[in-house]
Amino acid sequence: MSTALKTDPNFHEAGRRFFRDFSPGDEFYDHLIAAHNGLSDEQSEALNARLILLLANHIGDLKVLREALQAARAGG
């Protein structure tokens, strides 16, 4: 198990159900792409901003959020 992010294991065990019925990353990615279908670039950026804030609120752990920010920045 990776220690980079506490959420990392959710994306490495296909088919397993997780806390709050979260499913592995591929299914989430499909839903994310579908949510952006038909939106302009500006609308898509606004959707991403709202989604980030909503998910950060649900996570609620500043340490986990800092790790996620660092991982996202390093990956780009």
Q: Scan for tokens 């959707």, then name that residue.
A: 47
Report d(CA 14, CA 1) in Å as an integer. 14
Q: Which residue has the higher pLDDT, 14 or 67?
A: 67
Q: Where are the domains of the chain?
A: 8-75
Residue 70 has pLDDT above 70, yes or no: yes
Q: 9-54: per-residue pLDDT in tens? A: 444 455 555 555 555 667 888 999 999 999 999 999 999 999 999 9
Residue 3 has pLDDT above 50, yes or no: no
Q: What pLDDT score does 76 carry? A: 64
